[in-house]
Amino acid sequence: MTIAADLLRDAAVRLEAAGVEEARRDARLLLAEALGVEAHRLILEPQTEVPPEAAVRFERFVAARADRMPVSRILGRREFWGLSFRLSPATLDPRPDSETLVEAVLEAFPDRTAPLRVLDFGTGTGCLLLAVLSEYPAASGLGIDKAADAVAMACANAADLGLSSRAAFRTGDWGQGLEGAFDIILSNPPYIEAAVVPGLAPEVARHDPLLALTGGADGLDAYRALMPHAARLLAPLGHVFLELGQGQEKDVADIAASCGLQRHAAHADLAGIARCLELVAVNG
């Protein structure tokens, strides 16, 4: 029987050689998954015995991580806003920076009992919409995505989280054919310049869907496409919350202004980067 500490040591060396930054932590998470235990147990009990079948699973996981597949893709899930979301090849891997949008919503709408209507453009896993709905028990929402596989995964995540009765998802091209008025409009659109994508970390460039990354030559195509729909669908006194790439605040605010939306606030992520642009109607 192999000992956990020995497997972790060897895996960490292998992952470091492959360029993985947090090799020891990733190895521990993967071994915990292979064993079906909590990761902290391997810290407290380094002499844990690893059965052969678990060792085989762990070897498969380590090989995938050495090929720079993210841990979340290997595990098939990612935690976001304290909730667990399943992933698929059609969905972006949710990142902590995107939680800035949820924080901004909570600041703008302090009444947690409000029966808000929420719209999420490019919903992916559904993480933004479902995180917001988890905070507002009387709210309901709709998530739109071009990828049918992403919509299916968002539906599965809503079911896992017990939010299916308040969250609907459908395939669509931004707001085409959509009517109604929404108090909160969310989007984490593709905003990376096309020429930059191949040079991103392999975890992103190889494993996140290109459709969810590339915002055209200047990174702004998605904002140009979605902004007229956001302006049309925004309820009186409603707010729009858009995720931004670094340095995009002014350009996106200018696009919004051309559609009748104005900058209300910008919210920084933990690195101090303006990550969320909050908009309201010019006459709102």
Any known ligand binding at 123?
Answer: yes
In order of 62, 149, 188, 236, the CA distances from 211 in angstroms are 28, 12, 12, 32
Task: State the SS3 of the chain.
Answer: CEEHHHHHHHHHHHHHHCCCCCHHHHHHHHHHHHHCCCHHHHHHCCCCEECHHHHHHHHHHHHHHHCCCCHHHHHCEEEECCEEEECCCCCCCCCHHHHHHHHHHHHHCCCCCCCCEEEEECCCCCHHHHHHHHHCCCCEEEEEECCHHHHHHHHHHHHHCCCCCCEEEEECCCCCCCCCCEEEEEECCCCECCCCHHHCCHHHHCCCCHHHCECCCCCCHHHHHHHHHHHHHEEEEEEEEEECCCCCHHHHHHHHHCCCEEEEEEEECCCCCEEEEEEEECCC
Any known ligand binding at 188?
Answer: yes
Any known ligand binding at 125?
Answer: yes
Any known ligand binding at 174?
Answer: yes
Any known ligand binding at 124?
Answer: yes
Q: Are 73 and 207 in contact (CB under 8 A)?
A: yes
Contacts of 198 (CB under 8 A, 6+ apart): 205
Any known ligand binding at 36?
Answer: no
Any known ligand binding at 191?
Answer: yes
Q: Which residue has the tokens 């500490």?
A: 5
Q: Which residues are annotated as a binding site?
A: 122-126, 145, 174, 188-191
Q: Which residues are annotated as a binding site for substrate?
A: 188-191
Q: Which residues are annotated as a binding site for S-adenosyl-L-methionine?
A: 122-126, 145, 174, 188
